[in-house]
Structure 1
């Protein structure tokens, strides 16, 4: 959403390396998943271009904070420290920006 592709490029390299590792054991299934993944990512990128003019810096910060909390919860779950149900927390990503806009509209800055 910022227009800086460096993070996307880094993530794509990491995804490629991970897919190469999985392809050694899963074979064709990893190669076949690239088509729907490409469609989903293009839809998300296109949607982000329409969303950017409607957002503020505070909305982006809150969205990043929610994403950080989800990543932390995922890490705790992977390590076996705490069994968070991260799937139930995903709607928070969708609600972060609208809730920020509502908060700013009624409470003010």
Structure 2
């Protein structure tokens, strides 16, 4: 079952979020400290991912072009509106619902583990990476929910859909990619994902407010550039 890893990842987020609801009465200082601790871990992971880049010039080009596309499509606004809709439908006045949904979705979606794990699930039916990611996301969702509310729980659904689609497409497409190109893509996607995760860490620590969602098209831009470069240069 190629979707097993994605489903387990989503269930871990739901379980962690429900645990976070139970722990919501912990002190604000504890929530703040632990949330910032998560942010520091996210930033450290981002640095580790970013240094895998073989060409930072291509990363910068992709980030800039992708950012312009994202701003034009207003991806961040669309995600926020979706979160606000879910807030009106389910949160009953929880003002942090949209922030929790968007922040958790970005943390769980962006990064090499989801992409590589999805590919492994689709190609070899190996869910080890996604199971590992499920443990990490489950624990993180406890504190995110305690800090940002039940909106974090709903991030499980885009995670299942996103990683599930990667697994399905990987089972079809990866068979036709040269191994060298696949390795290059994974390294550079990990690097550009690291930059976006770093921005998320800064946002969680409230050091700045970066519209990270609008950088998501940068991943597709990078894939296009590297594919053209591999075949024609």
TM range (shorter): 0.5 to 0.7
Asked if structure 2 preserves the Cα contact closer than 8 Å seen for 1:60 and 1:97, the reply is no
Q: Report the TM-score when normalising by structure 1.
A: 0.67
How far has the Cα of 1:40 moved from its partner?
A: 4.1
Alignment deviations for residues 45-79 of structure 1 (CA, whole Å, 9 cap, x no partner): 21222332326121221111111111112112222
TM-score by length of 2: 0.36
Aligned equivalent of 1:48? 170
Runs of 4+ in 1 over 4 A off after TM superposition: 18-21, 32-37
Unaligned runs of 5+ in 2: 1-115, 121-125
Residue 103 of structure 1 pairs with residue 229 of structure 2: yes
Closer, same or farther in 2 for the Cα pair 1:62/1:51, shift >3 Å?
farther
Match of 2:219?
93
**Among 108, 121, 133, the residue aligned to 1:11:** 133
- 72-81 or 34-43, which moves further after superposition? 34-43
Q: 2: distance between equivalents of 1:102 and 1:88?
A: 24
Matches within 5 A, 1:34-45: 37-45=159-167
Shift of 1:9: 1.0
What is the root-mean-square deviation of aligned Cα atoms in Å?
3.0
Q: Deviations over 1:7-26 (max 9, x none)?
A: 31121123334455639x64
Gaps of 5+ in 1: none
Aligned: 1:62 with 2:188: yes
